[in-house]
Every structure is written in structure tokens, then in C-alpha cells.
Amino acid sequence: MERPNEYEPEDEQPDPEELELIAALSAEQVQAIDAALLAAADSKWRKVAFLIAMAMTRPDRIPGIPDVYYAQRVREMVFSGTLEAQGVLSRMRYSEVRISSQVGGHEA
């Protein structure tokens, strides 16, 4: 896996307009974003940036929602145990995830 450049900043934060769009998301829309990210995931390691690109290019995506929000959703799935991660999750280009072998409480 690529090592992060110590001078490269972490992923940017959403701007005020993007924060308004994020705040307006319904629970169903957040679930749809999570489903799109999970659909791009695999049992093999994949770059977080790849998952985000796949989810953001779907025809049913929600316009205006920034990539950093998708990255936040990936982190939430890692913290909940749905995905496993390696690398620096605050830098989507320097982290990888895979579907957890423990999803559903059993080996996948």
C-alpha cells in the first residue's frame, strides 16, 4: 500500500453549502449512500477513493454531496464493523477497506 506523503494534508472538510446539503439528507438517502459504497466494496482490499468514485458516479447519486461525506460514511462502516480498514482513513487515497469477515456475526 502507498505510504502517505507527510506533507499532504488530510481530506478537506465540507464547505458551508455542502454541510447544508448533508444536513438535509434523509435517513433513506444516507442508507442509499451506504449501500452504494458497500456495493463497491469487496472481500479483497480496495482503495477508499475507488469506493467513493464508484458510488459517486452511479446514476442515482445525490447531486452536491461531496466526496468527503462519502469518506465519512466509509469510516462509520469501519467503526461499526461492516468494513475492515488499513492505512490512514482520514486520507482516502492512502487507505483501503474490505468487507468484514465478521459481517452478520459469522465468517463470510
Cα(85)–Cα(31) distance, integer angstroms: 20
The pTM score is 0.84
What pLDDT, on the 0 to 100 scale, is given for residue 11? 79
Q: Does position 60 have pLDDT exceeding 80, yes or no? A: yes
- The C-alpha cell that represents 36 in the structure block: 452504494
Structure confidence by residue, pLDDT tens digits, 8-48: 677 778 889 999 999 999 999 999 999 999 999 999 999 99
Distances (CA, A) of 72 to 27, 52, 88: 15, 10, 13
Cα(38)–Cα(49) distance, integer angstroms: 13
Cα(28)–Cα(22) distance, integer angstroms: 13
